[in-house]
Amino acid sequence: MNIKKTITIGAKTENPLTIKRMGYGTMRLTGEHIWGEPENREEALKILKTTSENGIQFLDTADYYGKDVTNRLIAEALYPYKKDLVICTKVGAERGSDKSWKVYDKPEELRASIDNNLKTLKIEQIQLVHFRVMPGTSTPFEASLNAMFKMQKEGKILHVGVSNVNEEELNMALKMGHIASVENAFGYEQRSSFSLFGQEVRGMQEVMEICLENEIPMIPFFSLQSSLPNNENKIAVVAKKHNATSAQINLAWLLNYNDLILPIPGTSKLSHFKENIKAFDIQLSEDEMEFLG
């Protein structure tokens, strides 16, 4: 099977962004529990520089990673940015000084997050922002998303996406404005919603049909999470055939699953990053995809 090499964010808008179908998620560049500076700062900067050297055109970040750590690392490593680089951030959460995760989705809070992202990334407009839904929030979904579209009209945001959404929220979002992308959990071993540390993590499987119908790019997080060990045996079989790692076959499966998926595997190890991007060149056959299921 030959995979589609590029994907377009905002294809039906006046500002389409066509990029390579392999990005990089920066979350793991931070310290333990997604807090503080990286254990190896030089390696973190090297990974970011290597993304550029290897044609990666999409970076996924958030100002609550660190907090502000990944944004500052991106700016230090890559600013001034290449014209074809798309930096995607997300808002809707905040970190407390005790390293806790807090809902931060009131309109004024989202505006503060966007302004902070603009400052720390050293840019005047963010090309893609995902509003991340924190289940259990007291803020109405429409109020938060309206704030996003308002900032888009102001020019602070080019494209608006949503993250961690269920079917009802995604359908509601599509009635409110153009949704450029959806970022939910999805990988070979975990495709549907699950609970993590008492929080609901929404899976891509539940909203995939809506995305396919509307041709919305899907950006999976936790794509290398292992939770179904019985299926790992199938991955191992295919990996051995290709002389590849299990992570590489996981990513190759994502690329072959459908053309609207944009993988963003994250790692804090340069060696793992170089392994991951090689998945882009692994061709899985139809028989192998059927075998993997």
Q: Would residue 65 show up in a list of annotated catalytic residues for this protein?
A: yes
Concatenated DSSP letters for 206-226?
GGHHHHHHHT--B--BSTT--
Which letter does DSSP use for residue 71 in this model? H
Cα distances (Å, whole numbers) of residue 252 to 103, 108, 121, 235: 34, 40, 31, 11
Report the C-alpha gap between 216 and 283 in whole angstroms: 24
Catalytic member of 64, 65, 104, 188: 65
CB 225 within 8 A of CB 232: no
Q: What share of the chain is helix, strand, coil (3-state, %, to 5)?
A: 40, 20, 40
Q: Is 149 helix (H, G, I), strand (E, B) or coil?
A: helix
CA-based nearest residue to 88, from 123, 136, 41, 135: 123
Active site residues: 65
